[in-house]
Chains A and B, each alone.
Chain A
Amino acid sequence: MQPLIDGLIFIVDDDASVREALAWLLRSRRLESEHFASAEAFELRLAEGPLPDQPLCLLLDVRMPGTSGLVLFDRLAERGLLDAMPVIFLTGHADVPTAVDAVKRGAFDFCEKPFSDNALVDRIEQALGASLRALEVRRVRRSLAGRVAELTDRERDVMRLVVEGLPNKLIADQLAISVRTVEVHRARVFDKMEVKSAVELANRLRDL
């Protein structure tokens, strides 16, 4: 059984048996997971290095000794990590209102213990999908930004005016260069940005 998405799931729960059971469940669905016994341990992992460049999801227990799940969630939200790493809360019965509140503030979902497991895994896969999309967007942006960075200053000026929709002649007038030179620059921009028309170029840049 092949996983739909090659993602990584972080589990933060103080109960070792729950962590291990979840990991086993995820493995049965060909999903990879890493688990942490506390919010502090997870934060330590975040501090060690950047997140791997793959779809991510965080299963977070609400009630833990030390830093609670909610506090950790708030910190992640502050760092803007929620897009790349959607959070699913694991809650006991008592914490349901809290969890609902957290969802309102940007959590992906919450799941009440004991969970109906495959439903949870389905939800996790959806979260990973969301993460993948966010990853995709980020990747596109990153490559676009890399290509823009390759342009020379003059080429960038020409690109700006092309995107504004000016004809070559006017661009030449504005930049005080010959129409011929504009045409050369324009062709090189199209080449470097891997587009065939000015419209396509404008669409690309809108993503950035």
Chain B
Amino acid sequence: MEEALAVAPPRWALSAFARLRSLWQRWFLWLILAVLVSALLVTVVWLAGRHEVEQVQANLDRDTADAVSDLRIGLQRNAQSLRATQASGLDRTHWPDAAASLLREHREWLRLEWRDAALRPLEAVNTPYRMRLIADESRGADQSDVGLACAAARKLGAPAYSPSHYVPILGGGGVEVMELCVPIDAGGFLVASYSLRDTLIELVGPTLTRGQEVAFTEADGTRLVALGTSRRTGTRVFTSQQLIDLPGAALMLRVDGWRAAPDLFPNVLTALVTAISIALVSVLVLLARDTRRRLRAERDLADALAFRKAMEDSVITGLRARDLQGRITYVNPAFCEMVGFSPEELMAGSGEDIEAPYWPTELAHEYQQRQARRLAGGMPPREGFESVFMRKDGTRFPVLIFEAPLINAHRVQTGWMSAFIDISEQRRIEELSRASQERLQASARLATVGEMASLLSHELTQPLAAIASYATGSLNMLGPHAKGEQAEVAMAVRRIAEQADRAGQVIRSVHDFVRRRDRTREAVAPQALIDAVLPLVRLQARKLGVSIEVALEDRLPPAVCDRTLVEQVLLNLARNAMQAMDTAEHVGERVLRLRVSRVVAVGGPGAEDARRWLEFSVADLGCGISEEVAGRLFTPFFTTRADGMGLGLSLCRTVVEQHGGVLVFEPNRPRGTVFRFTLPST
């Protein structure tokens, strides 16, 4: 166990980890989505760019192929034109003219030669468009390029070409030249020298050179001549090469096209894709926001639900909902705890004709009738009604039930909602206070009887004393030696005295009942006296809205008294005090103050006493006591209350005086009355 504790990560770390994980889970999908979308965008843009590049390249390739085909046709035509100069037979005088005219037509040619079979030059004509480039002496029979071309031509029996060669020009520079050798029927050859540069200009045409560089290269890529716009910086180059396969020679036509570096939106497609992507992202963002709002709403709802649940779970009032058929649809934990059944047990078998499990078996029939009445639409009392339920263990307990129709949001009654309060504790307290009240009332009755006896005896003693006095006085006057009628009168008077004495004896014996109570005196702590009456006083105080203040001095000695009687006195005084504050004209606070303190004197001033005394005081903030009432306050059977017997205060005084104390009252400041009484202490 301890080991596990030691190994387990701290609680905060766990919770932090869990939070992190949920955060991660929430954001992970969004992250993947964002990555995918951007990857898609990049791919689409890239594909669009590539497509564009491919299209440009394809265009270039097509142009190049066209150019190559044009070139080939041109070269073939030229070769035919050249051969045509020999068609009407050879004539050394006329051929130069024909050659010259031919040269005028074909600016790509630099020179035409007529050679014999041994390749010796017979005639030669130079192009009129240029300065003489090729010296006659350099064009002997042993000129290697011509030889190569003518050898191929002879072999093929058709025009053939030589590889290009460089003819330097005096004063720097030079021209790339390619020889064309056409065999003629009479034996011999016609040789034309092509300027490669002019060939490009004449045969490829101006369209291809616009915005592009056109060049002849050798098979290995060596550039021979180039034509067209020179390359701009910051541009992308597209290259297309195509082989021109000529008999006896191989040339490459290379076209370099360039375009500006692709723009952000190189074309409509890219722009469209981008726009759609942006729209997509926007939609995603909106969706995300919506989801977040939804999440928040869900969380709020969950919070509200949790709060509602916590509320229902924490109230001590039992709650129960029934549908219109009488089935239980909801119970809260307090209700379950009250009856001891689980929610499942309660909600399971309770149907229209089935008894609820918490109904006491002996009362089930009655309850069923009550439920039927309710289901038939009978409204329950608003102030609730009391009933008896049964716990799972079979014990019965009283409950207070408040029932109301359950009305949903559409104002339709869907069932009945009931609240239950377990009042067994309340009942117990009520029983308890009733019992102690009965006890006190019994002792009060006893005390009242005692007081009546005391009262009667007091009231009767006075006349009896008077009777006895008169009788004795009369006898004294008649004297001991009376005679005749006087003696009879004396006898009668003596009888009167005897009867008065007898009445006095009767009263004395009745009075012994009161006096006997003296023997029940005991030492009681003042706190115990107050505590004994406080529950009853509180009961009434709550009813009248009176607050109670109790103040006892520290370390008070116990009082020597008849406990029950003194409690009765305290209760009487407290009740009087509270009733004095319970009048319609009484406004302001209602406070009842009970105090116990030590005093040295009892009675009036100067009555110093060796004994120690306790003074109990009961003060109210009521209307006070008028002069007229004050004079008769302790008179027996005097009362200001309609239902009073008028013995309360008189009894209180008797009790206190029996203990040797005094009961006095005086106005309270600022208003009300204070009653004080003293009791001897140990």
- A contact residues vs B (CB 8 Å cutoff): 1, 15, 17-18, 20-22, 24-29, 63, 67-68, 70-71, 74-75, 78, 90, 92-98, 101, 113-118, 121
Contacts and interface: CB of A to CB of B under 8 A. Distances in A.
A28 B477 contact: yes
A113 B607 CA distance: 25
Nearest to B469: A21
B458 A28 contact: no
User: Shortest 4 CB-CB distances between A and B: which pairs?
Assistant: A21-B469, A117-B472, A28-B476, A21-B466
Nearest to B508: A93
Interface in B465-503: 465-477, 479, 497, 500-501, 503
Contacts of B458: 63, 92-94
Interface string B91-107: 00000000000000000
A25 B473 contact: yes
Nearest to B460: A114
Nearest to B604: A71
A118 B658 contact: no
Contacts of A18: 462, 465-466, 469
Contacts of B468: 21, 114-117
A118 B604 contact: no
Interface residues of B, number: 40
B271 to A, nearest CB: 120
Max count, chain B CB within 10 A of own CB: residue among A67, A117, A121:
A117
Interface in B418-473: 454, 457-458, 461-473
8 contacts: A1-B476, A92-B461, A94-B458, A94-B657, A95-B657, A97-B658, A114-B465, A117-B468
B504 interface: yes
A128 to B, nearest CB: 16
Nearest to B654: A94
Contact of B466 (A17, A63, A97, A121): A17
Max count, chain B CB within 10 A of own CB: residue among A24, A95, A97:
A24
Nearest to B463: A17
A25 B470 contact: yes
A103 to B, nearest CB: 14
B660 A116 contact: no
B465 A74 contact: no
A61 to B, nearest CB: 10
A71 B603 contact: yes
B606 interface: yes
Interface of B: 454, 457-458, 461-477, 479, 497, 500-501, 503-504, 507-508, 511, 514-515, 518, 603-604, 606-607, 654, 657-658, 660
A22 B657 CA distance: 26
Looking at chain A's contact residues, the main secondary structure is: helix
Max count, chain A CB within 10 A of own CB: residue among B463, B465, B606:
B465
A28 B660 contact: no
A67 to B, nearest CB: 7
Contacts, number: 108
Given A20-B466, A113-B464, 14 more contacts: A18-B466, A21-B469, A25-B469, A67-B604, A70-B607, A78-B606, A92-B457, A92-B458, A93-B458, A94-B658, A97-B518, A97-B660, A114-B465, A117-B471
A22 B468 CA distance: 9
A26 B454 CA distance: 28
A10 B507 CA distance: 27
Contacts of B511: 93-94
B466 A28 contact: no
Contacts of B514: 93-94
B504 A114 contact: yes
A93 B510 CA distance: 10
Contacts of B654: 94
Contacts of B518: 97
Contacts of A116: 468, 501
A26 B657 CA distance: 31
Nearest to A67: B604
Contact of A21 (B454, B467, B515): B467
Max count, chain B CB within 10 A of own CB: residue among A1, A17, A113, A116:
A113
Contact of A74 (B501, B504, B604): B604
Contact of A94 (B454, B466, B469): B454
Contact of A28 (B462, B472, B508): B472
B93 to A, nearest CB: 190
A17 B466 CA distance: 6
A25 B476 contact: yes
Contacts of A96: 515
B461 A114 contact: yes
Contacts of A70: 603, 607
Contacts of B504: 113-114
Given A70-B603, A113-B461, A98 B660 contact: yes
Contacts of A28: 472-477
Nearest to A117: B472
A119 B454 CA distance: 25
Contacts of A95: 657
